[in-house]
């Protein structure tokens, strides 16, 4: 590994059942999205609220106060915005799967819980939605 660009260094992760872990979360991220399977949902955005909690394996060396040593919640939210900006999504389940895939693409993320809420979908309900949990197969 070259030390010419320290931002490209790979974080070394421990391989032990007792490896330290942390939770990284985004709660209540409200975005307008083209989402829904019904005709009346095709031509206008509606709010969705996204909650994400990632189970993160900590690096084997002490944190050096560098973004490279952590799962950055700002990058996660930017990625979620990019998913929504790709265009219309019919199902909240599809959006949840894409958000989970985004989080799991980070090498330090072992598992992720994603909740997608549509607060205006059913007039009589405070909110409706879906929550999923996805995990990587680990060698720990």
CA distance 111 to 133: 7
Q: Is 118 annotated in the active site?
A: yes
75, 54 in Cβ contact below 8 A? Answer: no
CA distance 102 to 24: 14
Q: How buried is 137 (Cβ within 10 angstroms: 0-12 exposed, 13-18 middle, 19+ buried)?
A: exposed
Residue 101, CA atoms < 13 Å, CB-side half-sphere: 7
CA distance 110 to 106: 9
Q: Which of 75, 118, 126, 136 is catalytic?
A: 118
CA distance 115 to 99: 9
Catalytic residues: 118
């Amino acid at each position: 590994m070259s030390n010419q660009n320290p931002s490209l260094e790979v974080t070394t992760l421990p391989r032990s059942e007792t490896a330290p872990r942390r939770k990284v979360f985004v709660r209540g991220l409200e975005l307008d999205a083209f989402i829904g399977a019904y005709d009346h949902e095709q031509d206008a955005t509606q709010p969705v609220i996204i909650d994400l909690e990632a189970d993160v394996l900590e690096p084997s060396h002490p944190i050096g106060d560098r973004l490279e040593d952590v799962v950055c919640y700002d990058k996660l939210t930017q990625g979620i915005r990019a998913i929504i900006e790709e265009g219309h999504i019919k199902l909240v389940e599809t959006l949840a799967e894409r958000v989970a895939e985004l989080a799991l693409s980070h090498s330090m993320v072992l598992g992720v819980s994603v909740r997608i809420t549509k607060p205006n979908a059913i007039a009589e309900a405070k909110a409706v939605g879906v929550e999923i949990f996805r995990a990587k197969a680990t060698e720990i």
